[in-house]
Amino acid sequence: EAGVAQSPRYKIIEKRQSVAFWCNPISGHATLYWYQQILGQGPKLLIQFQNNGVVDDSQLPKDRFSAERLKGVDSTLKIQPAKLEDSAVYLCASSLVGPGEAKNIQYFGAGTRLSVL
C-alpha cells in the first residue's frame, strides 16, 4: 500500500515570497490533515478536510495560509507571503475514517521542510 506522498521534500525561500506544498493521501482515505511542526515541538494541526470540505481550520493563519482539496483527493497548502517564523516541517496525514471515530489512525507523509530566510 502506497503511503502519503508529499512534495517537495525541502524548500528554501526568502521572506515575503510565496510557497506551495502538495499532498497525495492514501487511496480511499476521506480525511486529510495538514500539520506544522516547528523544530523540537509536536505537530500542530493547521487544517482538516473531510473529503473536500473543511472540518477544522481554527489554527490556520488565514491572512497568509490557504489550503484546498478540490476533488477530495490531493491537497495543496500555500503560504503567501512567508515569514521567518513559518520555518518548519509541514506534515500531511490521512485517515480512513472521520475524526469522530474513536480509533481513526492517521498515516503521515515524510513532510516538507521549509526554511524561510
Partner 1 sequence: KNQVEQSPQSLIILEGKNCTLQCNYTVSPFSNLRWYKQDTGRGPVSLTIMTFSENTKSNGRYTATLDADTKQSSLHITASQLSDSASYICVVKGYSTLTFGKGTMLLVSP
What are the residues binding partner 1 (CB under 8 A)?
A: 4, 40-45, 55-56, 91, 93, 99-100, 102-103, 105-111, 113
Q: How far is the CB of 68 from partner 1 (least distance, A)?
A: 21
**Cβ closer to partner 1: 45 or 73?**
45
Look up residue 5 and give its three cell numbers.
506522498
Q: How far is the CB of 95 from partner 1 (least distance, A)?
A: 10
Residue 18: how many other CB atoms lie within 10 Å: 11
**Cβ closer to partner 1: 42 or 53?**
42
CA dihedral 9, 14, 15, 21 (to 10 degrees): -20
Per the CB < 8 A criterion, the answer to whether 19 and 78 are in contact is yes
Q: How far is the CB of 56 from partner 1 (least distance, A)?
A: 7
**Cβ closer to partner 1: 18 or 59?**
59
Q: Which residues neighbour 41 within 8 Å (Cβ) at sequence distance 6 or greater?
A: none
